Amino acid sequence: MQKGNIRVQTENIFPIIKKFLYSEHDIFLRELVSNAVDAVQKLKTLSSLGEAKGELGELDITIKIDAEKKTLTISDKGIGMTEEEIDKYLNQVAFSGAEEFLNKYKGQNENNIIGHFGLGFYSSFMVSDKVEVISKSYKENAGAVRWECDGSPEFTLEEVEKETRGTDIVLHLNEESREFLEAHRIQTVLEKFCRFLPVPIFFEDKQINNPAPAWTKKPAELTAEDYQNFYKELYPFNEAPLFWIHLNVDYPFNLTGILYFPKIKQSYEIQKDKIQLYCNQVFVTDEVKDIVPEFLMLLQGVIDSPDIPLNVSRSYLQGDPNVKKINSHITKKVADKLEEIFNNDRKSFEEKWESLGLFVKYGMMTDDKFLDKANKFLVMEDAAAAGTFFTIEEYKAATEMLQKNKEGKQVVLYTTNPVQQDAYIQAAATKGYKVIKMETLVDAAFINTIEMKWENVQFTRADSDIADNLIDKTEHADSVLSKEETDKLKSLFEQQKTALHLTVEVKGLSTDIAPVVATRPEMMRRMKDMGAMGGGMAAFYANMPDEVTLTVNGNHPIYKGILGEADAVKQEKQIRNLADLALLSQDLLKGNDLTSFINRSVELMADAKKSTLIVTE
């Protein structure tokens, strides 16, 4: 038996490993299973070169729990180690067996060597009081050896009996880590980290992984059903995806994967971090914000690249030119796919727009290269004709004559709530204007950003002014009311008590337009909408009183009766109700004001019924 000290620069290395090597202790299982996969892949490579003699047999990995002995064992049938190799690889921390193997066999399936048999192995001491390694090399006449260490720099190394080639790692779990004696806990960790490793893995006599997932195959080998089935494997409770993009690049970097566009409804609780990053089929992380563009974080699926540099725990991306190249490539592939669908099957594209719009608009705001492409396939739905869509160029062509302001800008009229703003949409339609829907989660920010990126385009919400003023301020016909009546009417509306900042104007509008129209200035309303969503300076705007213009239609016949009303109290109630109706259309009537409006309406209806009975009698 050999005894000695592990050759490290400081004896404090083990406490550091135990506490700080990995942020999540369950990651030890990924490291040990990955090392086992390395051992099997190395053996396959040696066999293909004729350096490993005889039948390889079943090359699988098994994980076993012994609750009585409080041990967890990871066993492989791979390359194994001699006494000299154990001394070299286990007793010299951070010396990588896989790295040396790559140097020796460069060009021979090196991408399959996924681990660094050094610090990864030492993650076992995070959960163990003692670790045993029992190994038998593939080399002819090699004897089996057993290495043991209790987490101190001291170790023992001795010859033992072992019938089969390969390595068993036996973890004697410490008190704090007894959770890993529970089968469900191990199953959960294996499913998270090891479900797509390229070597069969068995736990409790069942294979728990898919060694050949869809992204490792060529697109020509897969059917639509294959892609759908793989999506179900990743997200068993989700609806079927809209479509997918298969990534398969080998130059100037290696990248494979499948990205899925999920269905996203307006009420859907958006979830990011649904893309999984793998390195040669080893799960690394689902935080891929440096690799995948921000606007595509709502996608789902898998990306796999051995060219993405990772730190020792394989859990955090490090700065590298390849990461930026991969990010740009994914953006281009997504833009190309969307443009292809739009050009080849526009109807299908428009049917998917409710979900696609969020991705496209977010991308146009944050990525100028994507913006250039997306200008061709961004579509906007006509609020007055459901199912009719315009690209920006089509919208410009349809509104060229009517919707250009004095500055020569194309005015894009929009609605954020077609039901609530229906009266305004109809008023705009009578003028021949086109109003489009802008009601997604990102539209407020999209409008503000895209106005700066599109030349000579101005967005105006349909309820930001009366229809006659949506494009430019215009002269109105005189009111049928006399000056005295106009002043009286204006005075009555100005007397209404409200927390809002009200401006009253009397205009001579068409008789079929509402008696009062409430509007809010476009830019101020935008600032308040954004303020409601954010802090800092934005909160300042959110707390400002709403600026509202009440445009009184002096030509509406209702005012002849109201101005002639002898009962001042009743007259005041009628005016207040008309003002409240207008405010209600802007969703500005709430709380006590709304209750008062309801009660007042009932009173006026009761008075009207009483008056009718008196006249009848």
- Domain residues of the chain, as ranges? 2-207, 214-344, 379-469, 483-616
**CB-CB contact of 192 with 283 (8 Å):** yes
Q: What is the pLDDT of residue 130?
A: 95
**CB-CB contact of 38 with 98 (8 Å):** yes
Cα–Cα distance for residue pair 108/46, rounded to 1 Å: 9
Encode 333-349: b = buried (16+ Cβ within 10 Å), e = exposed. Answer: bbbebbeebbeeeeeeb
- Which of 398, 357, 362 is CA-nearest to residue 379? 357
Cα–Cα distance for residue pair 577/558, rounded to 1 Å: 13
User: What's the half-sphere exposure (Cβ side, CA atoms, 13 Å) at 466?
Assistant: 24
- Length of the chain equals 617
Written as one string, the DSSP assignment of 34-66 is: HHHHHHHHHHHHHHHTT-S-S------EEEEEE
pLDDT in tens, 177-209: 999 999 999 999 999 999 999 999 999 999 999
- Which of 21, 2, 328, 323 is CA-nearest to residue 156? 2
Q: What is the pLDDT of residue 6?
A: 60
Domain 379-469 grouped into CATH 3.40.50.11260: yes
Domain 483-616 grouped into CATH 1.20.120.790: yes
Q: What's the CA angle centered on 295, arms 293 and 301, to 5 degrees?
A: 70
**CB-CB contact of 443 with 361 (8 Å):** yes
Q: What is the pLDDT of residue 534?
A: 60
Q: What is the pLDDT of residue 208?
A: 95
Q: What is the pLDDT of residue 88?
A: 81
Third-level CATH fold of 214-344: Ribosomal Protein S5; domain 2 (3.30.230)
Q: What is the pLDDT of residue 98?
A: 40
Q: What is the pLDDT of residue 197?
A: 95
Q: What's the CA angle centered on 403, arms 401 and 404, to 5 degrees?
A: 85
Residue corresponding to tokens 């160029």: 393
pLDDT in tens, 454-496: 999 999 999 988 888 888 876 566 677 888 888 999 888 888 7
Write out the CATH class of domain 2-207: alpha beta
Residue corresponding to tokens 């309303």: 525
Residue corresponding to tokens 């736990």: 203
Q: What is the pLDDT of residue 59?
A: 93
Residues 6 or more apart from 266 whose CB is under 8 A from it?
354, 439, 440, 441
Cα–Cα distance for residue pair 526/238, rounded to 1 Å: 35
- The pTM is what? 0.76
Question: In which residue ranges of the chain is pLDDT below 50?
Answer: 9-12, 20, 94-99, 101-102, 109-118, 267-269, 312-316, 615-617
Residues 6 or more apart from 164 whose CB is under 8 A from it?
77, 136
CA-based torsion, 186, 191, 196, 201: positive or negative: positive
- Which of 252, 249, 247 is CA-nearest to residue 333? 247
Structure tokens at 239: 């609806």
Instruction: Using alpha carbons, list the distances in angstroms from residue 6 to 16, 132, 272.
Output: 15, 15, 44
Same fold, 214-344 and 483-616: no
Cα–Cα distance for residue pair 187/205, rounded to 1 Å: 12
In one letter, which amino acid is 99?
E
**CB-CB contact of 319 with 234 (8 Å):** no
